[in-house]
Chains A and B, each alone.
Chain A
């Protein structure tokens, strides 16, 4: 029997005890394929406000970060971060006796903000009791060498992971899901991340529209060849208020039950 190296096993072997992830969602973060920088609407499977009928009405009242924007809400974001940490830590400590934690910046693109904002959030997260590292969910088109270099410095003292949403290695699929970048961008920035010796986790979705299981395996091989250290495999699902939900209505799409061809 082959023991798969799960996150639980990896962290227990490395730190001698279980390490628990604390997922964090900070207001103001968005993605470059939502705000119009590389596309609009976001990935077709992702629920976001782009599909809210009242988006235009709300847009003027909402603030979204951009790497070159000012950030007047940093203090609020830091308070939000601490509140989410405390709430989840308390629950995990009571339920499992958890003592070691990784702060997981999960929602949207967590390096798509001014460097000063990222430094403030990451350093605050690392200052919390029991926190031994960070896991940062992002996109390969939203990371800069400056941010990678900063994370590499942090990695000398903490467990730092960059989680890149690859989703697929097929340019055709990436276009179809409105990813806003292609395979070449993935190759370039994973190579750069490697130069700084950071831990890399690749997210791959199985069952994307137009993809066969063989194509998903090709994506896994592609990521392996780039030298990623970890994977998250996600079976595709369709949720309300997504572009995929609209397509589902039209063609009765059911992931891994029926295949569908999308035309853009």
Chain B
């Protein structure tokens, strides 16, 4: 994901970087279950690479 973001010119908009599904239809991967935790981890990883989401 970070490599993908780094490919983009600054004027290109990023509307989504996550996939969350908070119901029992999810089979895998389990980290998609709680979207706010997923976003927290993604934001942290971005920050470590100098990216502000």
Contact = CB atoms under 8 A, between A and B. Distances in A.
B13 A229 contact: yes
A134 to B, nearest CB: 15
A3 interface: yes
A220 B53 CA distance: 18
A240 B13 contact: no
Interface stretch (A52-60, A169-177, A189-197, A254-262): A254-262
A79 interface: no
Interface string A234-261: 1111111100010010000111110000
Contacts of A5: 10-14
A232 B5 CA distance: 11
A233 B52 contact: no
A235 B19 contact: yes
B27 A4 contact: no
Interface string A1-38: 11111110010000000000000000000000000000
A62 B13 CA distance: 38
A239 B27 contact: yes
Interface string B13-46: 1111111010001111100100000000000001
Contacts of B17: 233
Interface string A210-247: 00010011001100100011111111111111000100
A254 B16 CA distance: 21
A201 interface: yes
Interface residues of B, number: 30
14 contacts: A1-B51, A1-B52, A2-B50, A2-B51, A2-B52, A4-B5, A4-B52, A5-B12, A224-B7, A233-B4, A235-B19, A240-B27, A245-B27, A255-B28
A256 to B, nearest CB: 6
A108 interface: no
A6 B15 contact: yes
Contacts of A187: none
Given A217-B4, A233-B4, A254-B28, A7 B46 contact: no
Contact of A1 (B5, B12, B14, B50): B50
A100 to B, nearest CB: 16
Contacts of B32: 235, 237
Contacts of B18: 235
